[in-house]
Amino acid sequence: MSPLSLQELETELQQLDGWTISNGKLHREYKFPSFVEAFGFMSSLALVSEALGHHPEWFNVYNRVTIDLTTHDAGGITSKDVEWARKANQFA
């Protein structure tokens, strides 16, 4: 799997509400009404991660979940990261 080109990334970002590129990774912060909802979001996405065989870099503080996505083996952002980001937006 190869990293997406800049043009491909720009096209994908137009369809990924709330996601940006930060430090060479797809990046987004979600805010939820409570810790339980933030944790539930992460728990649901843990199952998605296992199914896709692709795991995020993420961080949770109370009602916030911060996510960074990159495909380490490919050395950049790939279609796997974009697919994962789409799933995250669906769950949020």
3 Cβ neighbours under 8 A, 6+ residues apart: 71, 74, 75, 76, 77, 78
Structural domain total, the chain: 1
Mean pLDDT, rounded, for 23-27: 97
The boundaries of the domain holding residue 23 are 6-91
pTM metric for this prediction: 0.94
Q: Residue 1 domain-assigned? A: no
Q: What's the rounded mean pLDDT across residues 58-72?
A: 97
Q: Could you tell me if residue 77 is inside a domain?
A: yes
What mean pLDDT, rounded, does the chain reach?
97
CATH of the domain at 23: 3.30.1360.20
What phi and psi values does residue 8 have, to the nearest 5 degrees?
Answer: -65, -40
User: Looking at residues 47-57, what average pLDDT do you find?
Assistant: 95
Task: Read off the pLDDT of residues 29-51 as tens digits, 9 standing for 90 and up.
Answer: 999 999 999 999 999 999 999 99
